[in-house]
Amino acid sequence: MVREQYISSTDDSGAPTPVTDSIYKIGIYGWRKRCLYLFVLLLIIILVVNFGLTIWILRVMWFNTEGMGYLQVKEDGVRLEGESEFLFPLYAEEIDSREDSALLVHSTDNVTLNARNANGDVTGSVSVGPSQVNAFGQHFTVSSSDKNLFYADNKEAVVGTGKLRVTGPQGALFEHSVETPVVKAEPLRDLRLESPTRFLSMEAPKGVHVKAMAGNIDAESSLDVILHSTEGL
């Protein structure tokens, strides 16, 4: 905005001569000034709302110096008290429970544990569903504190306990050979070894011993019963 002032002066002839003096005022006036104040007011309101939301989130999530609520960040990992619900996959190297409580993993559908290699490929998996349990891996091992109880891979299955007990009324069905030092029945029960459509063969490098402590030994066949010995009778 420019304001002109006229100041009278006299020349050599004595006649007054007007002198123009222009005064320039720099600033924001009018509607621009009101818009600036409104913008500053809106900015202050936004800052106050953000600060209030931040305080509310801190109070709701229970943030403290050790972590967030029941979630505590320790030097050796993360400690979580109480029950927790995970909506997405959980990646962890080790999951432990408290010393005085058990570790419970619950899901409405299934629980799946996956192990991956450096390339991200699944090398082992255990899935517990509503009606079945599926396990995938190169080896399957069940062990106690001092020895292996069961081992299985794509070639063989090994039972490491002193005794394998089958309690089903139909016994055990094997599609291929079975290697074991002793086959016996429970006390006061009969032991039956049968092959409905093929032949039954028993072999041992140091002999086959068949013994009935209280009862008879019966051998039945639709054709011949063959006893073969490489040395002796």
Whether the predicted pLDDT of 26 surpasses 70: no
Count of residues making up the chain:
233
The DSSP element (H or E) to which 67 belongs, if any, is strand 67-68
Whether the predicted pLDDT of 54 surpasses 80: yes
Residues 97-141: pLDDT tens digits? Answer: 877 788 788 888 888 888 888 888 888 899 998 888 888 888 888
Tell me how far apart the 2 most distant CA atoms of the chain are, in Å. 166
Whether the predicted pLDDT of 2 surpasses 50: no
Whether the predicted pLDDT of 66 surpasses 80: no
For the purposes of burial, counting CB atoms within 10 Å of the CB of 146, is it exposed (0-12), middle (13-18) or buried (19 or more)? exposed
Whether the predicted pLDDT of 168 surpasses 80: no
- Average pLDDT estimate for 157-180: 80
pTM of the predicted model as reported, rounded to 2 decimal places = 0.45
Q: What is the pLDDT of residue 45?
A: 97
